[in-house]
Structure 1
Amino acid sequence: MPTDPVGRFLAALEPHQREAVTGRPREDQERLASAWEQELASDDELDTLDELSPPAAEAEAARRVMDRES
């Protein structure tokens, strides 16, 4: 499992989104990973989900970040 924020963010994405993000410049990837970490930290609903299933919480936060990006 990746330990850097970008690697963790990429791991949380769905495969088609992962491909799209890996094609972007590193700075863009870091910006998205930062937004993902902020989403995870700031949403109480995700905190509850994280207690039940950390991968599900990370995937939901990644989905939200990518939805805002579209």
Structure 2
Amino acid sequence: MATDPVGRFLAALDPAHREAVSAQPREEQEQLAAAWERELEADTELDTLDELSPPAAEAEAARRVLDRGTG
């Protein structure tokens, strides 16, 4: 399992998005991973999902971050 934020973020993505994000420069990947971590920390709805399924919560946060860009 990946321990760095970018690796964890990439692991949370579906295969098509993982490939697209992996092709981006490392700096952009780091920005997306940071936004993903903020999403996981800030959204209380994800806290509930995290208790039921941590991978599902991470995938939902990743989807949200990609939907709105790096913000």
Q: Which bracket does the TM-score occupy, shorter chain normalised?
A: over 0.9
Could you tell me how far apart the structure 2 residues matched to 1:19 and 1:52 are? 27
Following superposition, which runs of at least 4 residues in structure 1 exceed 2 angstroms of deviation?
none
Gaps of 5+ in 2: none
For 1:26-45, list aligned pairs within 5 A.
26-45=26-45
CA distance in 2, matches of 1:67, 1:18: 14
Q: TM-score under structure 2 normalisation?
A: 0.96
Cα RMSD (Å): 0.3
Q: CA deviation at 1:55?
A: 0.2
Aligned residue pairs, count: 69
TM-score by length of 1: 0.97
Instruction: Percent identity, please.
Output: 77
